[in-house]
Structure 1
C-alpha cells in the first residue's frame, strides 16, 4: 500500500494565510478525519529546510 493516509498544507505570505487545507484521515483504523490542527512527526526534512533558508538568504 504505502503512502500517507492524510495531508495538511498551508501557504503563507507576509500578510497572512493564502491557503489552508487538509485531506483524508489521520488514523486508518478509526477513520478519524484530518484537520488543519493535526500534529504529526516530520522526518528527513533537514535538506528541504536548509535549502529554503539558503534561498531566503540569497533573496
Structure 2
C-alpha cells in the first residue's frame, strides 16, 4: 500500500504559511541589501575610472 501524504491541520498550515511568508520577506530583504552593495561597488568603480581618466587627461595636458 502506498501512503497518501496527510493534510496538516489548520493550525499547522497557518504556522507553515507564516514561516514561508517570513522566509520570502527575509530573502527579499537580503536581495535588496545585495543590490545596494552592488550599486555601491559599481559607483566606486566608476569613481576610480573617472579619476584615472582625469589623471590621464591632466598628464597629457602637462606634456603638451
Tell me the TM-score normalized by structure 2.
Answer: 0.26
Pair member with larger Rg: 2
Q: Which has the higher contact order (CA 8 A, sep 6+)?
A: 1
TM-score normalised to structure 1 length = 0.28
- Give 1 or 2: higher strand fraction: 1
